[in-house]
Amino acid sequence: MRTFIAVDFNKEVKNEIKSLQDRLRTHASFGRWKYIDNFHLTLKFLGEIDDKKEDEIGAQLEKTCQKSNPFVLNISEIGRFQGHDNIRVLWLGLGGELDKLKRLQADVEEGMHAIGFEKEKRPYVPHITIAQDIAFSTGFDEIRKIASEIVFPDIPVDKIFLFKSEQVGKKRIYTPLKEFRFEKDT
């Protein structure tokens, strides 16, 4: 099964991201918009694993969460990874306690490396993908202005998830397999 490790969001956060998507859709001539239940913050993509590896992953994530403290993030900007003729990825950037997020991601990366996963070579760029392969009929400055009008709630982070990714019909579905709560309070 295809898997990744991520921070999930509560319904309030997901609803506000969806609200932004709905406003931006009216300015797009085409694109693929992420499903509301699929909004997340990836910490580590794992790829295909079997049941035995799932147990090893779980043990490592429990160790990581034993030394992790809760923290708060917020959505701070909208950005893009440009493609040839369109926006390859439309994303929301994060602010808040980024030092704690980066420490958590590094701990996850090290834990997964310890059980045989290759380390990511690219630097970690925390973002929430909200659409792919987008072409807007409006300039990106206008898209930024629209995004700045949304007041997003804070994102409390006190747990991480192992997710399964699967194609169901024409839709990519992300399903939480297991939750790992942080054990420290401060």
Q: Which two tokens stand for residue 137?
A: 């009929």
Phi, psi of 149 (to 5 degrees): -80, -15
Cα–Cα distance measured from residue 2 to residue 117, given in angstroms and rounded to the nearest whole number: 14
Hey, is 112 helix, strand or coil?
A: helix
Of 27, 84, 113, 127, the catalytic one is 127
Helices (H), 7-162: 11-25, 51-66, 98-114, 140-148
| DSSP state letter for 120 | P
Catalytic-role residue among 27, 40, 84, 113: 40
Q: What is the DSSP string of 139-153?
A: -HHHHHHHHHT--PP
Q: Is 127 a catalytic residue?
A: yes
CA–CA distance from 42 to each of 39, 98, 148 (Å)? Answer: 10, 14, 23
Residue 40 known to be catalytic: yes
The residues carrying an active-site annotation are 40, 127
